[in-house]
Amino acid sequence: KQEVTQIPAALSVPEGENLVLNCSFTDSAIYNLQWFRQDPGKGLTSLLLIQSSQREQTSGRLNASLDKSSGRSTLYIAASQPGDSATYLCAVIGKSSGDKLTFGTGTRLAVRP
Amino acid sequence: GAVVSQHPSRVICKSGTSVKIECRSLDFQATTMFWYRQFPKQSLMLMATSNEGSKATYEQGVEKDKFLINHASLTLSTLTVTSAHPEDSSFYICSAPLTGALYEQYFGPGTRLTVT
């Protein structure tokens, strides 16, 4: 059974700092990995999707990498801003799970002004 | 990007009543939709897969008679919480995937259910 873990569970940084969020998964047989952002009481916003054949994706200040063989992904946020404060979730679609996403435990990020 | 809506965004109901939550894909068709439940400060837990024109498939431990799912069209899935109890109070979120190689999923804004 696929298990997805995110470290750290919570992170507080001053504005302007670069930061890295980590995601690990136990079964490397995946179709893709997706990073989401969730604001309190809201739904999920898709940030980046990395297909299993890719190693990274970039969107603005965000860069996500994927090392499928080691079961790891990182989300790099450059020059963090208070508006980046949210919970970040990674999720994978495994080849043995049909079309279902398996979510990580999430990282709660607070960026202090 | 693709848009998924949910209605209502918030609902308060009395114990013993039933509540229906709608999930719509606004600009694409979805033969499959997913329903999740999220407790405070926890991640999303998949409840069931909604299949257009056929029965939903439920995850282990989810009562299918309590959480009725109907996927009557390619753009609408509904989740009905029957005989709701306070422990059913939660945040319910649906998602719909764009089929194809990317298989990216888009999520609705969620529905906050409070059972008194």
In DSSP notation, B7-72 reads E-SEEEE-TT--EEEEEEESSS--SEEEEEEE-TTS-EEEEEEEETTS--EE-TT--TTTEEEEEE
Q: In the A/B pair of chains, how many CB contacts fall below 8 A?
A: 53
* pLDDT value at residue A92: 94
Contact B43 A105 (CB under 8 A): yes
- State whether B34 and A41 contact (CB < 8 Å): no
pLDDT of residue B59: 94
- Contact A45/B at CB under 8 A: yes
pLDDT at B27: 87
User: In this structure, which amino acid lies at residue B107?
Assistant: F
- Computed over every residue of chain A, the mean pLDDT equals 94
Answer whether A103 sits within 8 Å of B97, measured CB to CB. Answer: no
pLDDT of residue B15: 97
Q: For residue B85, what are the CA distances in angstroms to A24, B89, B116?
A: 36, 7, 8
**What token pair was written down for A29?**
């047989």
Flag whether pLDDT at A66 surpasses 70: yes
Angle (CA) B55-B57-B58 rounded to 5° is 130
Contact residues on chain B for A45, CB-CB shorter than 8 A: 107
* Lookup result for tokens 């995946």: A30
Where chain B has pLDDT below 70, the residues are 1, 100-102
Asked if residues B60 and B89 have their Cβ atoms less than 8 Å apart, the reply is no
Please give the residue of chain A at the shortest CA–CA distance from B94: A43
